Chain A
């Protein structure tokens, strides 16, 4: 509904104006009255202005080449019409001449308006801020010109409508003004004629066609505007018979089109020799763009490199190519893909990826074209290169400040690459870089997922290895816990209940982290558990455990342990420390805390002799109120945000202050203090503690 309303609004004004002219004309034809020509011309000009917005409704979304075609077709019809019907009579001579002239005049106007609209769209291709302004200024100038340039107003006349009035009758200043105005008009026409950006968009075929059409139309326009005239020297004679304003408008618009098409003819002519190359580039760019979309969806580096190389060779017309990529977190480059590379060069490339050539590109971070491989200083030092004649293109894959890889293409002819290939491939390389980084990222994410899965398994394994219940002894108060870090830290503790008076304890820390640590932890648990039933002495047990673990661990893995036996009958605790943190002992009789650290190596470090020589068993007499704290290094090494460690002294203080509390309370106090100390810092190791308090029953 709205659009119908809009269109009818657009139509309304021109129809009223044209009807008005018709009424005046018919009245004149039947001698009812004599019209004033200026007023009639004014109404006609207004009618043209009113028609302009209507013309804009047409052909807004068609291709540039179609616009050009429309322009040429409109101009051609206008010229043909005016060539064929060239009325020799005046407008009001007869009804017949009146009708034919009126129809031809308005058909011409419509044709010219269509042509001008098409012309405007062509001028506006790739428009700048000034483009619109210049064009509309020109249109205003043409309309002013159309109205004023008449026989009796010769200053604007430009000497084409026929010299009928003597110039001498007019004031001199007027002719100066006219001259300036005429120059301005010509200037504006030329200015607008420089806007021929659309020529670039045409393909070769279209450029040739445009060239031919332009030649024909320019010829016709020259004939129409300057050659064919009536006996008084008037061109476009029918239009001038109808109205001088209409004649002037048509004439100046066609002049504009003539100048414009002449300019575009020259530009098309200049573009013709390179049209084929340009077409090729456009095709390449679009195919590379397509490729870019494809490669962004490929995450396998090998597959990706094959696609990249295949396309590089296709587009540049190279004979072979290869791709080297930087290893993540390293400065070394690996050959990840090649296509058609000769065997001899391939052997060289796969062993030595770093040489003067690659170093140059990496340090300069820019594409390198070598026109003569055998002579260039970067390639000629290699025997292989010296013997072949060819050209090479090396493109860095640049991400931020880093060169993540290099893409090479080689042609078996010298000077084989166009200067553009360099630019084109650099643009392509940007997409390749993104694709490769994407692939790396996806791989990393997958690894991360796998890693997290492993972490979960390791964590579950660790939890299963820890005892679920505390041993129950009448005189003993036991509390233990292992607060795990994000990653499994390899901490471990266990109890062995031998009889109602004897039980063993073990606390250990396997070196390393993650699933591997959990695996070794299970091994330690198994070994210690089975040995605990064979050897009564902790020292004996650890000596044998060390032998077994040394054999079974890999060379860089070891485990620190404390193994001890609480003998309630003999009222003593005897233990060995195999490289573990000391035992924190609260002597309740002396109200004193001490760290007991008998010598001993961690298990798995030494095959046996030195271990045995070093290890010393320690004995402590148990008394009521004594407290033993066993812990792993995650406790004393817990760090706060200033990178300070919690340290043993704090542990000693907490135990002394809380020596009357239960084991559980002491353990929780320590955890609370650590939590407060660490704050929001991420914990990087397990926190494992075992508190054993002797009750007062001895």
Chain B
């Protein structure tokens, strides 16, 4: 079984989720739970750091789609950062850069939230 892990840290009023391992149809619920609990707490400024992500499937991409509308309606956003080229390629093929802020670096995303 391929593993997946979500860790959370706070940076001011922005929450950074570090995701690690394989994000597919089996592990997607873990990220869903993580995002859902942030929304339940009223936390809508979210950065997802892809630095340690090895693989993402379409179901993994779907997780972000599931929450983005609600988050943006609450003046928040999900910004995606630190993708390796292979992961970025998956996002790019589907046209995700049109829909999401995909950034080089976590700090950059936090700064953008705060500006």
Contact = CB atoms under 8 A, between A and B. Distances in A.
Partners in one complex: yes
A556 B25 contact: no
Interface in A535-566: 554-558, 560
Interface in B35-81: 54, 57-59, 61-63, 65-66, 68-69
Contacts of A487: 25
A487 to B, nearest CB: 7
Nearest to A577: B93
A555 B59 contact: no
A229 to B, nearest CB: 88
A558 B61 CA distance: 9
Contacts of B68: 555
Contacts of A685: 57
Contacts of B95: 579, 599-602, 605, 614
Contacts of A512: 25, 58-59, 62
Given A602-B94, A684-B24, A511 B99 contact: no
Given A555-B69, A560-B93, A605-B95, A643 B54 contact: yes
Chain B CB count within 10 A is highest, among A582, A602, A643, A645, for A602
A580 B65 contact: no
Interface string A452-490: 000000000000000000000000000000000001001
B8 interface: no
Nearest to B65: A556
B99 A610 contact: yes
Interface string A85-99: 000000000000000
A513 interface: yes
Contact of B58 (A490, A606, A610): A490
A509 B59 CA distance: 11
Interface string B8-52: 000000000000000011000000000000000000000000000
Interface residues of A, number: 32
Nearest to B61: A511
A435 interface: no
Contacts of B57: 685
A514 interface: yes
Contact of A558 (B58, B86, B90): B58
Interface in A589-625: 597, 599-602, 605-606, 610, 614
Question: What is the size category of the interface that chain B forms with chain A?
Answer: 20 to 34
Contact of B59 (A511, A597, A643): A511
A327 to B, nearest CB: 11
A606 B99 contact: yes
A551 to B, nearest CB: 14
B59 A558 contact: no
Interface string A663-695: 000000000000000000000110000000000
A343 to B, nearest CB: 28
B65 A558 contact: yes
A3 B6 CA distance: 76
Given A509-B58, A606-B99, A558 B25 contact: no
**B54, B57, B66: which has the most chain A beta carbons within 10 Å?**
B57
B59 A579 contact: no
Contacts, number: 67
A48 interface: no
Contacts of A633: 58, 90, 93
Contacts of B98: 601, 606, 610, 614
A560 B59 contact: no
Contacts of B62: 511-512, 556-558
B20 to A, nearest CB: 14
Contacts of B54: 643
Contacts of A403: none
B86 A645 contact: yes
Interface in A498-519: 509-514
Contacts of B93: 560, 579-582, 597, 633
A151 to B, nearest CB: 90
Contacts of A684: 24
Nearest to B68: A555
A555 B94 contact: no
Contacts of B65: 555-558, 605
Contact of A579 (B25, B69, B86, B94): B94
A653 to B, nearest CB: 19
A602 B90 CA distance: 11
B25 A514 contact: yes
A579 B61 CA distance: 13
A601 B98 CA distance: 8
A117 B69 CA distance: 89
Interface string B94-113: 11101100000000000000
A490 B93 CA distance: 17
B58 A605 contact: no
A70 B42 CA distance: 82
Contacts of A610: 98-99
A490 B66 CA distance: 18
Interface string A567-594: 0000000000001111000000000000
Contacts of A643: 54
B59 A513 contact: yes
B80 to A, nearest CB: 14
Contacts of A560: 58, 93-94
Contacts of A601: 94-95, 98-99
B50 to A, nearest CB: 17
B109 to A, nearest CB: 21
A605 B94 contact: yes
A614 B95 CA distance: 9
Contacts of B66: 554-556
B58 A511 contact: yes
Nearest to A509: B58
A487 B69 CA distance: 29
Interface in A74-117: none
Nearest to B33: A330
A420 B83 CA distance: 59
A558 B99 contact: no
Most buried by B among A555, A556, A581, A645: A556
Nearest to A557: B62
Contacts of A579: 93-95
A667 B98 CA distance: 33
A558 B95 CA distance: 11
A670 B61 CA distance: 28
Q: Which 10 pairs, one residue from A and one from B, show the smallest C-beta to C-beta distance?
A: A601-B95, A511-B58, A556-B62, A556-B66, A579-B94, A513-B25, A602-B94, A512-B59, A556-B65, A511-B62
9 contacts: A555-B69, A556-B63, A557-B62, A597-B93, A610-B98, A610-B99, A614-B95, A633-B58, A643-B54
Interface of A: 487, 490, 509-514, 554-558, 560, 579-582, 597, 599-602, 605-606, 610, 614, 633, 643, 645, 684-685
Given A605-B65, A605-B94, A605-B99, 20 more contacts: A487-B25, A510-B58, A511-B61, A511-B62, A512-B25, A512-B58, A514-B25, A555-B65, A555-B66, A555-B68, A556-B65, A558-B62, A579-B94, A600-B95, A601-B95, A602-B95, A605-B96, A606-B99, A633-B93, A684-B24
